[in-house]
Amino acid sequence: MKNEEVLEKVNKGVYLPLMEEFYTIQGEGFHKGTAAYFIRVGGCDVGCHWCDVKESWNAETHPPTAIEHIVDNAAKYSDTIVITGGEPLMWDMNPITKALKEKGLKTHIETSGAYTLSGEWDWICLSPKKNKLPEGRIYDEAHELKVIVYNKHDLIFAEEQAAKTNANCILYLQPEWSVRDKVVPMIVDYVMNNPKWKVSLQTHKYLNIP
């Protein structure tokens, strides 16, 4: 296929820049502890300085891959598929989620919400970032809000973001991994004083799994 044809397919979400895919245990948030197949799509320009997958940022380093291959493969492993990145909403998620749902699979997304919501989702984890705020209906659609806490100012940001979410949205504070020893006591204290919040940990990192 010609280069332009591939780019057109990526633009339509029929091909996606695939960084990696793996069967593991969801480590974070509401579904932590549940086996799931992860699809990590390349490309992100949000630029979180503490991002734990910076290798995902440059989409050009990840091969454009036909979604039917991704979906056929995912179906062999699990009935719960988590699409993450990178920032998956940089791409049109309608074709891949339609194909996953046609196979009866549950579709979950991990997103910053920095781009317009596309796709049909059973679970939306919204993890907003100050540098590129979410906009539009994602606050109404999110099932969980997961704010990363790097310092005490992030607790103020967390409240501002929580105020924009729907009433059923489950609220999580998750320590930024590199400063966990410092921020965990602060998060514990905050959650005990503000019990609408829950703690989320990156449990896969404690389990030494992907």
Binding residue for ligand SAM (CB under 6 A) from 26, 65, 84, 97?
84
Between helix 94-102 and helix 67-75 the angle, nearest 10°, is 40
Query: Three-state DSSP class for 16?
Result: strand
| Partner in contact with 25, chosen from ligand SF4, ligand 2KA, ligand SAM, none, beta carbon below 5 to 8 Å by kind | ligand 2KA
Check binding of 202 to ligand SAM (CB under 6 A).
yes
Residue 47 near ligand SF4 by CB under 6 A = yes
Q: Which does 47 bind (CB under 5 to 8 A by kind): ligand 2KA, ligand SF4, ligand SAM, none?
A: ligand SF4
Q: Which residue, chain included where needed, has tokens 């940001």?
A: 157
Q: 24 a known binding residue?
A: no
Strand ranges for 75-192 from DSSP E: 80-85, 106-111, 123-126, 144-149, 170-175
Cα–Cα distance between 158 and 187 in angstroms, integer?
11
Q: Which residue, 34 or 94, is less far from ligand 2KA as judged by CB?
A: 34
Q: How far is the CB of 139 from ligand 2KA (least distance, A)?
A: 20
Q: Hey, what are 144's tokens? A: 């969980």
Whether the CB-CB separation of 106 and 81 falls below 8 Å is answered with: yes
Which of 98, 101, 94 has its CA nearest to residue 119? Answer: 94
Residue 115 Cβ vs ligand SF4, minimum distance, rounded to whole Å: 10
- For position 52 contacting ligand SAM by CB under 6 A, the verdict is yes
Give the DSSP letter of residue 61: G
Known binding site for [4Fe-4S] cluster: residues? 44, 48, 51
Binding site: residue ranges? 25-27, 40, 44, 48, 50-52, 84, 86, 127-129, 210
